[in-house]
Structure 1
Amino acid sequence: MRLFGRVRACSAALRALIAAGALIASGAGARAEDGVGHPVPGQIGFQVGVTDIARDIHGFYDNLLFPIITVISLFVMVLIGICMVRFNERANPVPSKTTHNALLEVAWTIVPVLILVVIAIPSFRLLTKQLELPKPDITIKATGKQWYWSYDYPKDQDGGFNFDSARVEEKDAKTVPDFINLLSVDNEAVVPVNKNIQVNVTGADVIHGFIVQSLGVRIDAVPGRLNSTWFRADREGIYYGQCSKLCGKDHAYMPIAIRVVSQPAYEAWLQDAKKKYAQTGQPQRFADASSALAGVAATTDQR
């Protein structure tokens, strides 16, 4: 009777735990929905996906990885509990001298292999979907620099300009509508909704990481190498990401901001951008030292 009582108590506790988890998950989902495109305080789980790939990634985790992790964790906890109760010194004053068990060894070899196969098959399908680039409607180039991003829009797609995108500091929050600390930037990359967007990513100095969670995009920005990724957003809005590689002292202050707009709004932005970011080039983010060096040289000659 005592054993059945313990079983009922454990069952009730497990049901309460599952209910609490469901409540937390629903609340986290609501908070994530409130902050589409960026994280929100207290959020658990992924940001809301606005591409098929992002939703597939979320489904892969929620419907496969997380249940497997949960079952394995509970199984290990139960085994530890059994070992603590049945194989302590008081319960077993004379310890067992068993050295191996062929059946158990086969089981704990085959079962993990089967679990990995179950994970690998949908994982490879998802990776293939991510890495097979469809014909792009728009192609842009993103270059990671310490510690900001530069975007190039090619001339053959009605572009022919480039610009830098850097974090807006908190003291300048009033210059940006809907300011989000550590995420808002001075110049956002803009793309049209429901279009295949190819992003060619590279680094100018060290390795950076280009990741925008809501778009299901993550790829390395490696100096001297061009890596390509893509997305097709089906919802307008602004979607934030951050550099995901340790790239120096300001790694944490290197946000990514991509604004998805309607086709007419995108075309209007292109015309404005071509005027704002002339082909002659953007003002350099670092001061040109040539004039200062020339002055120093002249002073030295006079001496």
Structure 2
Amino acid sequence: MAHPSQLGFQDAASPVMEELLHFHDHALMIVFLISTLVLYIIVAMVSTKLTNKHILDSQEIEIIWTILPAVILILIALPSLRILYLMDEINDPHLTIKAVGHQWYWSYEYTDYEDLAFDSYMIPTQDLTPGQFRLLEADHRMVVPVESPIRVLISAEDVLHSWAVPSLGVKMDAVPGRLNQTAFIASRPGVFYGQCSEICGANHSFMPIVVEAVPLQHFENWSSLMLEDA
């Protein structure tokens, strides 16, 4: 969950998000080293009196500033490509959920069950109870079992939307007439918040996404109650 004055990412709640955090630290360290080197060269050039205005070329320097950037790009590209392929992997999902964006709410359908579907609207500010978050609470949460591969099929009914939950490392566009898919594994129990991340109209800010990860037994109890009420 995000908090005021936060500078870093939200705590990772999925293996993919943990990989993204590690890659962020890896890339940031490379940027820091490059910035330090450039700053050192600038200070050295400004402060030294040993200048040579007659150097036209230097084969050694040209080789260095050609090879070094190539090596740096490879060090960034390889882990990045690995994570990209990891995010696209969907192997034997235990549960498939269809999320459809509307102006301005989400509807969810658990495709492994016959009649388990519901709409999820934002809870208005005046109806919030102590401890709930403004603009982030929904009247129905998307409940999933912990440590199970979850596939989410994402589409939209009217305009472009985007289904995003930062703690789970998930963000996928919802496009009318197109069915996109993504996957995640919730590595710990908890409630994870997200919002529509594609400007979709006047109430774009009022489309929260709430994912609740619970133990498998609790999920089975919840699904049974939802099916009884259907």
| TM-score for the superposition, normalised by structure 1 | 0.69
The alpha-carbon deviation at position 131 of structure 1 amounts to: 0.5
Question: Any stretches of 5+ residues in structure 1 without a counterpart?
Answer: 1-37, 279-303
Q: What letter is aligned with 1:243?
A: C
Match of residue 270 from structure 1: 223
User: Could you tell me whether the CA contact under 8 Å between 1:159 and 1:270 is conserved in 2?
Assistant: no
Higher relative contact order (Cα pairs below 8 Å, separated by 6+ residues): 2
Aligned to 1:119, which of 61, 69, 76? 76
Name the CA shift for 1:251/1:79 in 2 (closer, same or farther; >3 Å).
farther
Paired-residue identity, %: 39
Deviation at 1:206, TM superposition (A): 2.3
Matched length = 230
Question: Which of the residues 36, 39, 54 maps onto 2:2?
Answer: 39
Look up the match of 1:148: 105
Deviation at 1:229, TM superposition (A): 1.0
Instruction: Give the match's secondary structure for 1:183.
Output: coil
2:91 is equivalent to residue 138 of structure 1: no
AA matched with 1:261: V
Matched, 1:184 2:137: yes
Report the residue type matching 2:33 in the other structure.
Answer: V
Asked whether 1:232 is paired with 2:185, we answer: yes
CA-CA distance at 1:95 after TM superposition: 9.3
Q: 3-state DSSP class of the match of 2:38?
A: helix
Alignment deviations for residues 225-280 of structure 1 (CA, whole Å, 9 cap, x no partner): 1111111112111111122222233333322110011222112211222344x3xx
Aligned match of 1:196: 149
Q: Deviations over 1:119-148 (max 9, x none)?
A: 111211111111010101110011122222
Instruction: Return the structure number with greater strand share.
Output: 2
Q: Which has the higher helix share?
A: 1
| Correspondent of 2:34 among 72, 87, 91 | 72
Distance 1:224 1:101 in 2: 58
Aligned to 2:117: 162
Structure 2 unaligned runs (5+)? Answer: none
Q: CA-atom RMSD, angstroms? A: 2.3
Whether the 8 Å contact between 2:88 and 2:182 is mirrored in structure 1 is yes
Equivalent pair of 2:116/2:223 in contact (CA under 8 Å): no
Q: State the SS of the aligned residue for 1:143.
A: strand
Equivalence for 1:5: none
Q: Deviations over 1:102-125 (max 9, x none)?
A: 443333332222111111112111
Deviates most, 265-274 or 234-243: 265-274
Flag the structure with larger Rg. 1
Distance 1:95 1:215, change over 3 A: same
Amino acid at match of 1:115: I
**d(CA) in 1 for partners of 2:136 and 2:216?**
25
Could you say if the C-alpha distance between residues 111 and 159 of structure 1 is closer, same or farther in structure 2, counting changes exceeding 3 Å?
farther
Deviations 1:167-195 (A, max 9, x none): 22221112xx6311121111111111121
TM-score (norm 2): 0.89
Q: State the secondary structure of the residue aligned to 1:74.
A: helix
Alpha-carbon distance, 1:99 to partner: 5.6
SS at match of 1:260: strand
Cα distance in 2 for partners of 1:96, 1:160 equals 80
